[in-house]
Amino acid sequence: MHTRTISWAGRQMVLACDGLCGKAWGITSRPKVQLSDDHDDVAFLADCELQEAPTDPGTYEGGCSKPRGPAAMNKWCARECERSDIDETVDKIALPDFSKRLLNQPWKHAT
């Protein structure tokens, strides 16, 4: 896990990611499959179902684009990257697991 302390809404927070920038598409660009008529009911594809993500997925946050690696974490990572999380402490960080498809609304598909 890679971390950086940032100022978020006036508070000191921890931004963390898995460091797999080559697999980061951005939450608005990551390929997904529709699961129902509800446009928010999607499953984001697993890493193994995808090729490498584009170096520039065409999304920008506060003038920042996707970095080439975790050492250059920036606003794009905090606002757009689907592989990151922000919380008050590292202990509360929960990075998403893209080893399998990730449901946007998992409660609709609980067994």
pLDDT, tens digit, 9 for 90 and up, residues 42-77:
999 999 999 999 999 999 999 999 999 999 999 999
Give me the sign of the Cα torsion angle 63, 65, 70, 71.
negative
Q: Is 97's pLDDT higher than 90?
A: yes
Q: Provide the pLDDT for residue 111.
A: 73
Query: What pTM was estimated for this model as a whole?
Result: 0.90
**How high is the mean pLDDT of the chain?**
96
Domain membership of residue 76 as a residue range? 2-109
Residue 88 CB neighbours (<10 A): 12
Domain count, the chain: 1
Full strand arrangement of the beta sheet holding 84-87:
2-8, 11-17, 84-87
